């Protein structure tokens, strides 16, 4: 049997963030898929093997976990260019969607082809130990158990079709263990502990804190007291940034005739360092500030109301940390609202990567610690038997 490899994967509504092995490999893909046919047309096919596989991810997935088995997809950047591309819709449950599993398995397969041995039949057999997560709302509804059972105990096969460098390879993925963590608790772990799960923020350990995780489709607010998530107080809301990003995308198209490929293009316009809130219209640099400000301020007001309501119910809270990709998008609007209104003690992560990769980093810490404990138990068992 192959040695089990760590995979820590955050299937975010905007993009998937994954850390593998001993943190030597990271992958980040837009969470976009598009159904496709087996032979996709490629211009300059003789150059296919010179291109980056991430830019041309074209796969067939066979998995008993999927509602639509053996379907063919464009995934990530390639899917963003397709007219039939799909992103997760507001109100959908991450644990129930085929798209979540397609993204998860495709990302693991991308890691596997660079890690495990390919046999003579172009087949790669792999074993992974997976740490991942679901929104608090779904964990509270007990959906984590069903999600885990879909993955464990079966072999999932990803076949690369017209994909640069990997065409014709098949990856068989078997999970030795799958741990599904509530996202709010994972954010807390990342805040207070380092990669070895040693405490780094002692001042936070015994405080009552809130963690407001703003994602694409939902917002989780975890109430942390006594070093654990208070299940009764923690809440999940069907309010994320995706709908607002879609509104901006539609408004840009209706006003300027500029069609953006995906919500991720809108995020890039809002957050990039240079030419923020500007697009090119017929070759001219054009501001879309009015649209982005109006729509995002409206969303920030709704997010602030959530914060205010939860804080009122947990009046001894000392600080709220805003995390997730949505917090990065709304940061300046939320800061302005807070300065003008209640003046709560709130904190953002100025390092954008730290905020966006927080969940993946937390899952890595948790799954690595689980493996370490499992290995110690096994060693103890062997020593007792000998």
Specify whether 233 is located in the same domain as 119: no
Specify whether 227 is located in the same domain as 348: yes
Which of 3-7, 348-352, 368-372 has the lowest average pLDDT? 348-352
pLDDT band at 378 (very low <50, low <70, confident <90, very high): confident
State the pLDDT at residue 386.
66
Domain assignment present for 379: no
From the list 377, 357, 352, 371, the residue with the least C-alpha distance to 131 is 371
Specify whether 11 is located in the same domain as 25: yes
pLDDT tens digits along 293-340: 999 999 999 999 999 999 999 999 999 999 888 888 999 999 999 999
pLDDT band at 43 (very low <50, low <70, confident <90, very high): low
Domain of 193 in residue numbering reads as 185-240+303-358
2 pLDDT higher than 60: no
pLDDT band at 45 (very low <50, low <70, confident <90, very high): low
pLDDT tens digits along 66-101: 999 999 999 999 998 888 888 877 767 889 999 999
139 pLDDT higher than 60: yes
Specify whether 138 is located in the same domain as 110: yes
Percent residues over pLDDT 90 in the chain: 57
**In angstroms, rounded to a whole number, what is the distance separating the alpha carbons of residues 33 and 102?**
8
Specify whether 214 is located in the same domain as 255: no
pLDDT band at 160 (very low <50, low <70, confident <90, very high): very high
**In angstroms, rounded to a whole number, what is the distance separating the alpha carbons of residues 341 and 301?**
11
Which of 27-31, 71-75, 134-138 has the lowest average pLDDT? 134-138
CB half-sphere exposure, 201, CA atoms < 13 A: 14
Specify whether 193 is located in the same domain as 260: no
Single pTM value for the model: 0.86
**In angstroms, rounded to a whole number, what is the distance separating the alpha carbons of residues 84 and 72?**
13
Specify whether 224 is located in the same domain as 135: no
From the list 95, 65, 32, 87, the residue with the least C-alpha distance to 157 is 65
Specify whether 253 is located in the same domain as 348: no
pLDDT band at 1 (very low <50, low <70, confident <90, very high): very low
State the pLDDT at residue 158.
97
* pLDDT top residue among 114 and 235: 114
State the pLDDT at residue 291.
94
Domain assignment present for 373: no
Domain count, the chain: 3
Domain assignment present for 327: yes
Domain assignment present for 105: yes
Specify whether 252 is located in the same domain as 347: no
Specify whether 30 is located in the same domain as 165: yes
User: How is residue 162 written in tokens?
Assistant: 């017209």
283, with CB counted inside 10 A (0-12, 13-18, 19+), is: exposed
Specify whether 20 is located in the same domain as 152: yes
Specify whether 41 is located in the same domain as 177: yes
Mean pLDDT in the chain? 89
Domain assignment present for 368: no
* pLDDT top residue among 200 and 365: 365
- Rg over alpha carbons for the chain, rounded to the nearest Å, is 22
**In angstroms, rounded to a whole number, what is the distance separating the alpha carbons of residues 317 and 345?**
9
Domain assignment present for 254: yes
53 pLDDT higher than 90: yes
CATH code of the domain covering residue 322: 3.30.420.40
pLDDT tens digits along 211-230: 998 988 888 898 988 777 78
Domain assignment present for 365: no
Domain assignment present for 308: yes
* pLDDT top residue among 383 and 258: 258
């Amino acid at each position: 049997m192959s040695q089990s490899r760590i995979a820590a994967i955050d299937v975010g509504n905007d993009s998937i963030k994954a850390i593998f092995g001993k943190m030597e490999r990271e992958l980040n893909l837009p969470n976009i898929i598009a159904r496709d046919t087996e032979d996709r047309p490629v211009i300059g096919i003789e150059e296919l093997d010179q291109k980056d596989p991430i830019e041309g991810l074209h796969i067939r997935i066979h998995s008993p976990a999927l509602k639509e088995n053996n379907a063919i997809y464009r995934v990530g950047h390639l899917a963003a260019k397709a007219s039939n591309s799909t992103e997760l819709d507001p109100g959908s449950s991450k644990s129930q969607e085929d798209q979540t599993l397609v993204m998860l398995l495709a990302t693991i397969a991308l890691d596997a082809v660079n890690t495990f041995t390919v046999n003579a039949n172009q087949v790669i057999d792999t074993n992974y130990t997976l740490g991942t997560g679901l929104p608090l709302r779904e964990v509270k509804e007990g959906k984590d158990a069903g999600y885990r059972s879909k993955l464990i105990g079966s072999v999932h096969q990803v076949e690369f079709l017209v994909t640069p460098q990997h065409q014709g390879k098949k990856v068989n993925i078997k999970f030795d263990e799958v741990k599904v963590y509530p996202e709010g608790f994972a954010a807390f772990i990342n805040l207070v502990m380092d990669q070895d799960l040693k405490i780094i923020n002692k001042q936070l350990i015994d405080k009552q804190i809130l963690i407001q995780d703003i994602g694409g489709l939902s917002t989780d607010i975890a109430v942390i007291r006594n070093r654990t998530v208070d299940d009764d107080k923690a809440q999940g809301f069907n309010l994320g940034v995706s709908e607002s990003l879609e509104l901006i995308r539609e408004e840009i198209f209706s006003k300027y005739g500029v069609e953006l490929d995906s919500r991720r293009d809108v995020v890039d316009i809002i957050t990039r360092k240079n030419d923020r809130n500007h697009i090119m219209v017929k070759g001219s640099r054009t501001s879309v500030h009015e649209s982005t400000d109006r729509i995002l301020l409206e969303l920030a007001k709704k997010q602030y109301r959530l914060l205010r309501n939860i804080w009122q119910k947990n009046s001894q809270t000392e600080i709220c940390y805003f995390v997730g990709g949505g917090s990065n998008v709304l940061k300046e609007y939320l800061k302005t609202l807070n300065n003008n209104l209640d003046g709560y003690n709130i904190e953002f992560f100025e390092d954008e990567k730290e905020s966006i990769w927080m969940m993946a980093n937390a899952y890595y810490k948790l799954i690595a610690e689980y493996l370490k404990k499992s290995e110690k138990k096994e060693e103890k068992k062997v020593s007792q038997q000998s």
